[in-house]
Structure 1
Amino acid sequence: MSAGHRTVVVMRHAKAEQVGPTDFERALSARGLADGTAAGGWLAGLGVDPDLALVSAARRTVETWAAVADAASWSLSPTLDEGLYSAGPETALDLLRALDPSVGSVVVVGHNPTMAYLASMLDDGEGDPAAGNALATGFPTSALAVFAYDGAWSDLDPASARLTAVHVARG
């Protein structure tokens, strides 16, 4: 699959504890675990079935992915990326551009402000108006933006993906 219909899900990690040994090691709160579970249920309900999960190596993003995948009944092991922890939106976009052509659907779980900027950057403005309005109001913890993209990953550019749904998962 060198080109064709692809799905990109951009997700901000679920609610984390305020403190941890380091910021990188902060765990999800009980609400975060519930919200991650709710996010997985919502994605499964949309029929999202990712070929790849690109997840920041921070504890709260890894735990978010685990809750999402468990609730969605996905057995996909995440690809942990240490760089995604501190990546800016351009770097995150470069990670997507480097995806193998065989990947048809990807879930990216990371941190703000990068995930909010990435979602806004990808949006071509032609998608679902309600989703666009929701995206414009902010990207809180457990926020998800789902995009449809037609083309090769290497050609993914700003304003090249159609926003199809936005959800803030609350368990």
Structure 2
Amino acid sequence: MQNSRRLVIIRHAKAEPYAPTDVERVLADRGRVEGRMLGEWLAAEGVAPDAAYVSYAARTRETWDVVAAGAGWTLVPEYDGNLYGTDEEGVLDLVRGTKDDAATVVVVGHNPTMGMLVQLLDDGEGAATGSVALGSFPTSTAALFTVDGAWADLAPMAARLDAFHVARA
């Protein structure tokens, strides 16, 4: 079993403000551009996911598509209906269920959960610790963590925040 793993938390890219329902909101043009830029940054950081969990909302599915295109990823993610409305513990439970052979996991979801999750996981020892203020996890943002140990053991304050990036055109 691998000892060190990588977890990437992404907030969806900028979405249109209106749709018949919130779940149906699609990305704005700006979101498509910035999502692709985020993917390019993730590729430059050497991120290549073995597993990905994406909320089933239109804007998160589209975010995955543009980020993956920018990064050159071909992985088919798992679209999860629970990511739309879950809290931080729900996301942790999802990630804890990841197979042991996955070295890198990407989660694409919504605020406030994604921002709160970043705060919850940060052990205070990483190069990017302190770069994510409470309540400041804007659209088209990624946080890269190193997780020591098995996914099943992922716990609050048990991941090192190595990098934090906000993609802006």
TM-score by length of 1: 0.96
Structure 2 residue identity aligned to 1:99 = T
Distance (Å, rounded) in 1 between the aligned partners of 2:4 and 2:121: 15
Distance (Å, rounded) in 2 between the aligned partners of 1:132 and 1:60: 28
User: Which residue pairs with 1:89 in the alignment?
Assistant: 88
For the residue of structure 1 that corresponds to 2:131, the secondary structure is: helix
Distance (Å, rounded) in 1 between the aligned partners of 2:47 and 2:96: 20
Post-superposition Cα deviations, 1:46-89, rounded to whole Å, max 9, x if no partner, equal 00110011100000000000000001111011110000000101
Structure whose residues are more often helix by fraction: 1
User: Which residue pairs with 2:129 in the alignment?
Assistant: 132
Distance (Å, rounded) in 2 between the aligned partners of 1:18 and 1:79: 25
User: Which residue pairs with 2:70 in the alignment?
Assistant: 71
User: Which residue pairs with 2:7 in the alignment?
Assistant: 8
Q: Which stretches of structure 1, 4 residues or more, deviate above 3 A after TM superposition?
A: none
TM-score by length of 2: 0.97
Which runs of no fewer than 5 residues in structure 1 stay unpaired?
none
> How many angstroms does 1:120 deviate by?
0.8
Structure 1 residue identity aligned to 2:49 = P
For the residue of structure 2 that corresponds to 1:132, the secondary structure is: coil
Q: Once superposed, what is the RMSD of the aligned Cα atoms?
A: 0.9
* Count of matched residue pairs: 168
Which runs of no fewer than 5 residues in structure 2 stay unpaired?
none
For the residue of structure 1 that corresponds to 2:147, the secondary structure is: strand
User: Which residue pairs with 2:45 in the alignment?
Assistant: 46
Structure 1 residue identity aligned to 2:88 = P
Aligned ranges 1:1-171 → 2 under 5 Å: 1=1, 3-128=2-127, 131-136=128-133, 138-171=136-169
